[in-house]
Amino acid sequence: MITKTVYLGMTADVIHPGLINIIQEATKYGDVLIGLLTDNAIASHKRLPYLTYEQRKAVVENIKGVKEVVPQNAWSYIPNLLKYKPDYIIHGDDWKEGPLMKIREEVYNVMSQFGGEVIEIPYTKGLNSSEFNKDLRSIGTTPEIRLKTLRRLIQAKPIVRILEAHSGMSGLIIENLSAQHGDTIREFDGMWSSSLTDSTCKGKPDIEAVDLTTRLNDLTNILECTTKPIIFDGDTGGKTEHFVFTVRTLERNGISAVIIEDKVGLKKNSLFGTDAVQTQDSIEGFCYKIAEGKKAQVTKDFMIIARIESLIAGKSVDDALERAFAYVNAGADGVMIHSKEKSGSDIKEFCERFRAGDSTTPIVVVPTTYNQYTEEELQTWGINVVIYANHMLRASYPAMYKVAQMILENSRSLEVNELCMPIKQILELIPGTK
């Protein structure tokens, strides 16, 4: 007697009674073939799973009733259904409405092509994946897990979305905010610890005058209440001997990456113009700093990303490319290209020419001046990581200024009620307050 095959697609980041129930139901119809969604398939539509594909596969393979586990490399079931042509596919009836309705229709059409049958079972009530995610976030993370996440994201996602955080409160917004877009849940993938916003919050100029210990004291407030990966703005990295110490300290604290720029001398913010930009470091000098930093790190997961200031300094794309390839050869795990040009044409040219010679090294951009381009457009240039580098701080100042001004003008706070978050809502935002 030929045993029939039942296909069941799942993420399996959290094993809960609903999953066990649907697997047990599937065994009534034949051998259960689990299509386990890969990191790439999941991350294109919602948050990267906490467990890697290999870890999730090891768990699912040992669940009673599972005959075989195969990778499902797309959010859609269709490629695997056409490949394996199961007799049945089983799914909860929750996809009859909402963002999965289109997928349901596609599955019915494909299964009918080869005589397969769709089995729908009642969705297990009282289970909510969003609530599971909140519970997992409340547990927190470890430096090791947080450290590894950025590399996983770059490998899994078409483009990684990073937003500046300058406080625990701004970190919590990045940690918890999501937006539904079709059948995709969009989130920020991680945080940018900016030298500019850190110094501005202290009311001090952004001149690389604050030591690492002070920066880390402030960064700890974000680390303690969030789980997402953090990229650290390392300015020039300082002297090579100091940069080695910085790498070890950041890695030990679970920071995923540091970005250092190829400048020398007292730092001035690049946005002030070429007259305020210091001389670029020699290619050999900056390569040496990168190489020494790579030697200092303990794990393979920490990333050193080289920021190239050629376009800011008025030099050519050719100069930027020469430096980029040299920095990668010296061990840089990624390159960040920066520009004040509003058209973004120089960034696009750099990315396309860099990709012609290097198809794998991550490219990072900060599209503050050329912000007319969407993430999807930037992705077509070969870009892997987009950093929104100062928007949270820039948004907070006008809001606070307006509230303070209105209180002065009216001699009371009644008029600012609609501009202020209720105290109860503020308290509910903070983990452990309720």
Active site residues: 206
C-alpha radius of gyration, the chain, whole number: 25
Q: How far apart are CA 188 and CA 253, in angstroms?
A: 21
Dihedral (CA of 219, 220, 225, 226) sign = positive
Give 31's DSSP letter. Answer: E
Contact 258, 304 (CB under 8 A): yes
What are the DSSP calls for 133-192, one per residue?
HHHHHHH---HHHHHHHHHHHHHH-SSEEEEE--SHHHHHHHHH-EEEETTEEEE--EEE
Q: At what angle do helices 345-357 and 317-329 cross, to 10 degrees?
A: 40
Long-range contacts of 414-418 (CB under 8 A, 24+ apart): none
Q: Which letter, b or e, does each residue of 177-213 get, where b requires 16 or more Cβ atoms within 10 Å of its Cβ?
A: eeeeeebebbbbbbbbbbbbbbbbeeeeebebebebe
Give the closest residue to 378 by CA, choosing from 346, 348, 405, 423: 348
What are the DSSP calls for 291-314, one per residue?
HHHHHH-SSSS-EEEEEE-TTTTT
